Structure formats: C-alpha cells, structure tokens
A and B are shown apart, each in its own frame.
Chain A
Amino acid sequence: MSYSAVWTFFALMFGGYLLSLTFKETIEDNFDERLNGLLENLIGISSSNSDGQVSFYRAMVDPRFEQPYSGWYWQISAEDQEPFRSRSLWDQSLEPDLQNPAFQSRFSIISGPEDQQLRMVEKDVAIPGDPTVFRFTVAIDRSEINDQLDQFDNILIYSLSALGLGLIAASFLQIYLGLKPLRNIRLSLQKIRTGEAVHLPEDFPTEIQPLADELNALLDHNNQIIDRSRTQVGNLAHALKTPLAVLSNESALNKGDLSELVGKQSEMMRRQVDHYLRRARMAASTKIMTSRTETVPVLQDICRAMARIYSDKKFSFLPTGEPSRLLFRGERQDLEEMVGNLIENAAKWSKSKVIISCMREGESIIIQVADDGPGIDKQERDSVFMRGERLDENTPGTGLGLSIVKDLTALYGGKIYLMDNEPHGLLARLLLPAVYISP
C-alpha cells in the first residue's frame, strides 16, 4: 500500500513537472509568435522618407504602445541616429546591440523601464528606398505570461494534489474492497472448521469464486478420502467377521485341544480386530472438520429399531427444542454407536419403559436414556465401563457396549454420567459437543 502511495506521489510530481514545462514552452512560443507578429506588423507599416526618417502608414494597433511604461514597447533604431520609439518607452531606450546583426528575428530577454523584465524581438530590415539598415525591435513585459504560468502552476499543483490524494484513496479502497472477499473466505472457513457450515457459499465476486470453488472441491476431496478409508475399514470388518464366526462356531461344535485353541485364538482375533478398527475409525473422526449430525433422526431411528426388537417394552422419545438446533458436532456413525449402545442396554434391562430425551444447553447436546429396570449399584458403575465387563453373565451380549460409549464420548470431549432413575432403574446422561449456531 505504501509503495503505491510513494510511487503515485513521484509519478504525479514528475508528470506535473513535465506538464508545467510543456505549458511554459507553449505559452512562451505563443508569446514569441505574437511578438514576432507585432514586429512584422511594425515592419510592414514603416516607410522612410528621404531624410532617413521613419514613419508609419498606419498606427500600431494596440493602445498599450501609447501608454508610458505600459510594458509594450517598440523601437526602430539605426546607427548614428536617434531611435524612433513608441510613446510607451517615453525616454527609455531598448538599447539594441546594433553591432550584432540580426538577419532574422532574434529573441532575448532584457530589463526595461521600472525594472520590468521584457521579452524582446529584433530584426534588421532595409526599408525600400533607403540604404540604411534599421533595427526593428518589439518588447513586451514578461509579467503577462508570468501570471499565466503561475496561475497554471497553481491549478496544476492543486489538481494534481487532488488527483494524487484521489488515486491513493482509490487504491486503498480498491485494496480494501478487493481483499474483502478474501476476508469473507476466511470467515467462511472458520465457520466450516467449527462445523457451522459445510461448504463455502456460492456468492463471491467472479474473481474470487474460482478460489472458493477450489476450496470447496478440496474439502469434498478430503471428506472423500476419509470416507474411502472408512469404507475400507468397514470392508475389513465385514471381510474378517464371517471367517472369524466360522472359526469360533466350529470350535464350539467340536471337542478337543485343537478346537479349544482355535476358539481362544479366534476370540482373541475378534477382540483385536474390533479394538483396532474402532481406533482407526476414531482417528478418522477427529480429522473431519465439517462433521455435523442431526441427533433427532438418529435417536428416532434407533428408538424405532429397539421398539421392534423389544416389542414388549414401551419406548418414548422426547426431544426438546428445534431439531435444527440439536446438531451434534461429530460423525453420524459415532452418535449411532453411542446412543445405540445406551438405548439397547436400557431396553435389555428395563422392566417395561424406556424414556429417551434430547435437548441443547449452550454448546452441548444432552441426551438422556432412562429405564425402569434394576439399575446399577454405585460401586459398580465404574466397572461397567471397563472393557468386556458385564454385570450379568446370563444376559446375552458382548458386554463391550458401555466401554465403547465411554471411548467415543471421550474422543469428542464429552461426558457420560450414570445415575439413579426414580423410582428405580438407570439414568444415563450423555453430554456431547454441539455445532455452533450463530444466534
């Protein structure tokens, strides 16, 4: 910005100087031409009589030649003769240098009466019928053009200054306005990072829109990469689970050392596969900038699914507030896993009712799952989160459910609380980060 200001300043200075010079030259040329014209006029109206006296056919037109010390003077001189001069010269002489012949109009600057600075033009002319060479001279006070030049210079300075300021202001404005879309892009990207938006908007000026489009494409590309790796992870799970099922089934159906070994090892494999797959999925989750999930549809889906399986229990889902504000700042799969495990747990253990609620409090989404089952003793509440631990060996299930919930919750920086439900049962309270929504 400052470079352009300095550059503008110097350019204008230089330009102004050139303009001034050019104008001065033009004015001076015009002036000289005028002088020359007057000189020719003077020559033209002169004639000499036999005494060597010069006289005029007609008078010099301009009345200023008649006013004393007006600044407009003419003089006709010859050697050894009293010069014939204008009335304006009065008693002064222009003092031409007669020794120096002037075959053509010669211009010079002399000082005249009353310290006037005069522009003088002189020429030697022989009037027909007279052998004497007369020096014709016309001089005009330069102050005429000086005023014009000064006036021009003033106008020039004012207008160039104004132009300069205007240009500088314009360049500032242009830069500010030009960068504004970039600032908008920055703000939009911030929104994407906080999960408030998914894409850059499409309403940028035409110069910037290609950049925004590229950024959007990059975001999509990123998400695709993550989706692809997540799909691969899912594919791995799918591919391994059937062989593992076959192995563990076979070992259960047969007796013997080999069977037992196969059974133990395939169980180990299954645990490791689950463990690392989950971790891979979690690693992918934290990379996604733009994850946002509507909690209401997810809770509805799972509620419906559980109601179908546990058709003898009653499920109620009570969301509070606008569903569009109940946005979880994370991946749908992870929310499904957390919520699914909690609700399924509640369904298994409940006597007859499961109540699920969902609300937003500031920057958090709060999901509560309450059942009317036996609940969990305070002392044992910590241990249910331990991997693979189950309180009741008789209820089928892998028992890993709650530990998965705890891992995922921690990953998102959320919290899970287990509390007593009234009059009996368990209340699971899940706190998760919400997508920032500008008020």
Chain B
Amino acid sequence: MRLLLVEDDPDLSRQMKAILEGDGYAVDVSMDGEDGHFLGETESYDTIVLDLGLPIMDGVSVLTKWRGAGISTPVLILTARDGWSEKVAGLDAGADDYVTKPFKIEELLARVRALIRRAAGQASPELTCGKVTLNTNSSKVTVDGMPIRLTAQEYKLLSYMMHHPEKIISRTELTEHIYDQDFDRDSNTIEVFVTRVRKKLGVAIINTIRGLGYQLVDPEEQKTQ
C-alpha cells in the first residue's frame, strides 16, 4: 500500500514515515501544502495522512482542491487544536477520519488501516479469498489456518490485491502502490514477486490476464461460474 504523508515538522514527519513504513506502507513525504497537493493530485495513493497546519497552503485548502478535482483517496487529517471546529472543518472539506496530536502510534495505524479497508469496501480487518486469510491488524497471512511467511514486498503485493478482489490490476498499478516515489522501479520485479507469492500460498488465487495484468479470484467461486 502506498501512502502520502503531508507534515511540515521535520522530526514528526521522519518519525511518522518510520512508523508507517514499519507497518508495511510505502511512504512518500511532503513538507508543505503546495507540494503535498501536487503529489496527491498526480500520484496514486491508497491513503493520505494530512496535517492541517501546513505552510504555503493549509491542509483544508489542499483537501478541498483534491476533492474538487475528483480525487477520492481516503484522507486522515492530523489536528493539533483543542477544538472541534478544526475537526469539523477538515471533515467537511472531505477528510474521512482524524487523529489529534499527540497521538498514540497504535491509534494512528489502526485508523489508517481502517480507512484503507473502508475504501476497498472491506468492513473487517480480516480479508479473505478462498482459503487465504490476511489480517490487516496483525499483518499475518494464513492459508487454511496455516501461517505463511512473506517478505515485506510480498505482503504488500498480496495485501493490495486482497483489498481489490476481482479487479484487474496492471503491473504499473501494482508498482505504483507497492513502492514509494524514490524507489527505482522495474516492473519486471512484479512478475518475480507474483511468482513467489503464488508459490508460497500454494493456492491459485492470482490469475494472470494476458496483456492486462493480474486478478485476485477465489478459485472455488471461479469453478462454480
């Protein structure tokens, strides 16, 4: 999952990037409203964490512009002010949830996860596809109850696909959502990862649609169709 963090305090943004990467996200960081707005508009993210007190362009304006341009990425706002008016203003501008500073790390991560799940239409922290279960809270993957060990990148790939079941996802899209901006991407590595994941899972839930990309399907359902 790829995430945009827009936060102007250098220490806090460094910390939050570390925290979020630790939870398995590819994180792009922006230090001001204008830059953040640009990134949010031009790149595709699974969630955006947006601080409201930003220089150059404040958070609410950035958010209003995004929503005005039709960008529907879930946004979690960070508020510092002690009042509800800032929260309400942010939510009215199009945010999906908020976290007040200072926050407990667990709370931040839980809310980000919830946003991603909600955006994917998944209500529960547990995503399933056939015999494969992925728990977004614990980042554990099981097949038929048996835990499977995946590398960070493999997990990211599987997680993204399980959040968008049945959707045909191109390699480019996968690349965009698994790596952060700075990573030197090569779409061939996706193929490698897909192969590895398939092997580790042992169940055929990832289909290759030639020329278009990959698709996550429940093999049982496919059989009955």
- Min CB distance A169 to B, Å, is 59
Pick from A246, A253, A305, A336: contact of B92, CB under 8 Å = A305
Q: Is B43 on the interface with A (CB-CB < 8 A)?
A: no
**B106: A residues at CB distance < 8 A:** 396
* Given known A-B contacts A252-B105, A396-B110, A337 and B84 have beta carbons under 8 A apart: yes
- Nearest B residue to A307 via CB reads B91
Pick from A241, A301, A311: contact of B80, CB under 8 Å = A241
Pick from B12, B53, B91, B96: contact of A245, CB under 8 Å = B12
- Nearest A residue to B97 via CB reads A309
Q: Is A312 on the interface with B (CB-CB < 8 A)?
A: yes
Number of A-B contacts (CB under 8 A): 90
* Given known A-B contacts A305-B87, A305-B88, A309-B96, A277 and B102 have beta carbons under 8 A apart: no
What is the size category of the interface that chain B forms with chain A? 20 to 34
Q: Is A149 on the interface with B (CB-CB < 8 A)?
A: no
Q: Is B182 on the interface with A (CB-CB < 8 A)?
A: no
Q: Is A304 on the interface with B (CB-CB < 8 A)?
A: yes
Q: Is B15 on the interface with A (CB-CB < 8 A)?
A: yes
- Complexed CA–CA distance, A336 and B82 (Å): 11
Q: Is A320 on the interface with B (CB-CB < 8 A)?
A: no
**A377: B residues at CB distance < 8 A:** none
- Complexed CA–CA distance, A364 and B76 (Å): 37
Within 8 A of A (CB), among B101-154: 101-107, 110-111, 118, 123
Q: Is A419 on the interface with B (CB-CB < 8 A)?
A: no
B83 and A336 within 8 A (CB): yes
Q: Is A186 on the interface with B (CB-CB < 8 A)?
A: no
What is the size category of the interface that chain A forms with chain B? 35 or more
* Given known A-B contacts A396-B104, A396-B110, A249 and B15 have beta carbons under 8 A apart: yes
**A253: B residues at CB distance < 8 A:** 15, 18-19, 105
Pick from A241, A311, A312, A333: contact of B83, CB under 8 Å = A333
A237 and B111 within 8 A (CB): no
- Complexed CA–CA distance, A397 and B110 (Å): 11
- Nearest A residue to B12 via CB reads A246
A246 and B15 within 8 A (CB): yes
Within 8 A of B (CB), among A220-265: 234, 237-238, 241-242, 244-250, 252-253
Chain B 67-84 interface 0/1 with A at a Cβ cutoff of 8 Å (1 = within):
000000000000011111
- Complexed CA–CA distance, A278 and B110 (Å): 28
Q: Is B11 on the interface with A (CB-CB < 8 A)?
A: yes
Q: Is A308 on the interface with B (CB-CB < 8 A)?
A: yes
Chain A 25-52 interface 0/1 with B at a Cβ cutoff of 8 Å (1 = within):
0000000000000000000000000000
B83 and A308 within 8 A (CB): no
Q: Is A270 on the interface with B (CB-CB < 8 A)?
A: yes
- Min CB distance B51 to A, Å, is 9
Q: Is B98 on the interface with A (CB-CB < 8 A)?
A: yes
- Complexed CA–CA distance, A246 and B7 (Å): 12
**B87: A residues at CB distance < 8 A:** 305, 340
Q: Is B222 on the interface with A (CB-CB < 8 A)?
A: no
Q: Is B188 on the interface with A (CB-CB < 8 A)?
A: no
- Complexed CA–CA distance, A308 and B82 (Å): 20
**A238: B residues at CB distance < 8 A:** 53, 80-81
Within 8 A of A (CB), among B1-59: 9, 11-12, 15-16, 18-19, 53
Q: Is B85 on the interface with A (CB-CB < 8 A)?
A: yes
- Nearest B residue to A277 via CB reads B82
A396 and B96 within 8 A (CB): no
A312 and B123 within 8 A (CB): yes
B84 and A396 within 8 A (CB): no
Q: Is A302 on the interface with B (CB-CB < 8 A)?
A: yes
- Min CB distance A135 to B, Å, is 114
A234 and B92 within 8 A (CB): no
- Complexed CA–CA distance, A253 and B11 (Å): 13
A245, A252, A277: most-surrounded residue (chain B CB, <10 A): A245
- Complexed CA–CA distance, A430 and B15 (Å): 40
- Nearest B residue to A339 via CB reads B84
- Complexed CA–CA distance, A250 and B14 (Å): 10
A396 and B107 within 8 A (CB): yes
* Given known A-B contacts A237-B81, A237-B82, A396-B110, A248 and B91 have beta carbons under 8 A apart: no
- Nearest A residue to B106 via CB reads A396
In the complex, given contacts A246-B11, A308-B96, A311-B118, what are 4 additional A-B residue pairs having Cβ atoms less than 8 angstroms apart? A234-B82, A245-B101, A301-B88, A304-B91
Nearest first, the 4 A-B pairs at minimum CB distance are: A245-B102, A336-B84, A396-B107, A305-B91
Listed A/B pairs (10) with beta-carbon separation below 8 Å: A234-B81, A237-B81, A242-B9, A249-B12, A249-B15, A250-B11, A253-B15, A302-B88, A304-B91, A308-B91
